[in-house]
Amino acid sequence: MTGNMKISVLGGGSVRTPLLIHGLAQAQSEIGVSEIALFDVDSCRAQLMAALGNEITKGRGIRITTPGGLEAAIDGSKFVVSSIRVGGMAGRARDERIAIEHGYAGQETTGPGGFAMALRTVPAALEQARMVERHAPGAWLINFTNPAGLITQALMQHTGVRVIGICDTPSELFHRIAWALGEPFEKMQFDYAGLNHLGWVRRVLLRGGDVTDRVLIEDSTLRRLYPGDLFDPDLIRTLRLIPTEYVFFYYSQRKALHNQNASGATRGEEILKLNEELVGSLERLVAAGEPQRALDVYKQYLNRRNASYMRLEANAESAFQQGKHDWDPFEGATGYHRIAVDSIAALSGARIHPALLNVRNGTTIDELAPDDVVEVPCELNQFGPKPLPIGLLPKTIEGLVTAVKEYERLTIRAAVEKSFDLARLALLTNPIVGEWEPATSLVRALVESDPRNLGYLSN
């Protein structure tokens, strides 16, 4: 397919952007992308990622642009991919450190860290979505901005933009299950339900037959499902549900906190340091006219980052692996860029695609309201997502899911209504916090640490 499709990337200075550009370039014959517009409040970072993007798309007829304003970036786009981080990685590191100081594991999408990220992000995400409505009417917004489910729900409730939320966490687990069983992924199906970063595989099917017990029976198989030693195999067998990795912060909060304290760092602090090293190297190489070497450095960065994922929280291993990594991260079978490209292809009519998405619940999960956003299997085509029925949740996870969803609703209200009291009520409702006095002190500490982005909650 040839075409004249513009795709905008908000948060285009993100270190994930070159992966997305690679995926779009690979799918050019399907979706006909002609321009990828990168916008970031840090224009230098956007230009740096554009330099890598130009190397990736060399000879493919795709223009990588870095418009100076949000309106120009969005104008005329058919798809807008949102991957913003309000406050940057420094904000994440600060949030996670405050959580630890108050006795909770520091994590960017769950607990106090996720709460702070949501409060910073909702106003910016709503402003950008309204710009999409005005300057790219009819465009699809592909939301990867975390916390992805909560942000997608805020966009659906408070704007008229067409939006789906994406996350690579479930697909990573699905591929790991296939790998652990030694079976071809394309022959497998997964019965999955939950919320973003709070989901479970209920059944595993191989060529239509139930092989869940094959996954559950051996400790060694269960331990291969995760990047670190997250879950006791007996827990998974007792549940008869296979949790995604972020459920660890609900099931093993004290273990996560202990390991972070033992390592002396949080994931955000380590990535902040790694990103600073990466950006410095890329700037030097791009300025020297060596974009291919810059791309090689970028691939090494991805391998180091991926190799260390969740190991700090699970095993108290704080150092990034320094060994040689030969795997090409651009060719991985999973990742958010794969999901984003598959979603764009389906929504543009190039294919019908089964997808695991964050979408409006409707009647999908019985215990949740129709307007709640859930993370469930969907059929996706040019008319949008059609979630597949889930029915009732297992009783062992029903309470946790409904409590977290109420926390998400309250957090959105706190951000929209600019309410300090709703903010601490949200943290009271969050199962990780669940106490009034800590909720109050956490909100105050987070506001004081980031008055620029959270000052609207000042009491």
What DSSP line would sit under 155-177, residue for residue? HHHH---EEEE--SHHHHHHHHH
More confident residue, 302 or 92: 92
Name which of 349, 345, 370 is nearest 360 in CA terms: 370
Query: For the whole model, what pTM was predicted?
Result: 0.95
Does position 127 have pLDDT exceeding 90, yes or no?
yes
CA angle 309, 343, 296 (to 5 degrees): 45
Residue bearing tokens 């014959």: 29
Per residue in 204-226, pLDDT tens? 999 999 999 999 999 999 999 99
Mean of all residue pLDDT scores within the chain: 93
Per residue in 251-292, pLDDT tens? 999 999 999 999 888 889 999 999 999 999 999 999 999 999
- 3-state helix/strand/coil string of 12-71: CCCCCHHHHHHHHHHCHHHHCEEEEEEECCCHHHHHHHHHHHHHHCCCCCCEEECCCCHH
pLDDT bracket for residue 331 (50, 70, 90): confident
Name which of 447, 442, 411 is nearest 122 in CA terms: 411
Q: Measured in whole angstroms, how far is the alpha carbon of residue 232 from the centre of its chain?
A: 25
SS3 389: coil
Distance separating alpha carbons of residues 321 and 331, to the nearest angstrom: 21
Residue 163 · residue 151 · CB < 8 Å = no
Per residue in 150-199, pLDDT tens? 999 999 999 999 999 999 999 999 999 999 999 999 999 999 999 999 99
Q: Which residues of 249-262 are buried (b: 16+ CB within 10 A; e: fewer)?
A: bbbbbebbbebbee
Per residue in 17-45, pLDDT tens? 999 999 999 988 889 999 999 999 999 99
CA angle 163, 167, 173 (to 5 degrees): 150
Does position 76 have pLDDT exceeding 70, yes or no?
yes
Q: Which amino acid is at 280?
A: G
Does position 316 have pLDDT exceeding 60, yes or no?
no
Q: How much is the pLDDT for 291?
A: 92
62-86: average pLDDT = 96
Count the alpha carbons within 13 Å of 322 in the hemisphere toward its beta carbon: 2
Does position 82 have pLDDT exceeding 80, yes or no?
yes
Per residue in 132-156, pLDDT tens? 999 999 999 999 999 999 999 999 9
Residue bearing tokens 């794969």: 338
Per residue in 334-356, pLDDT tens? 677 889 999 999 999 877 788 99
Does position 333 have pLDDT exceeding 70, yes or no?
no
Q: How much is the pLDDT for 417?
A: 97
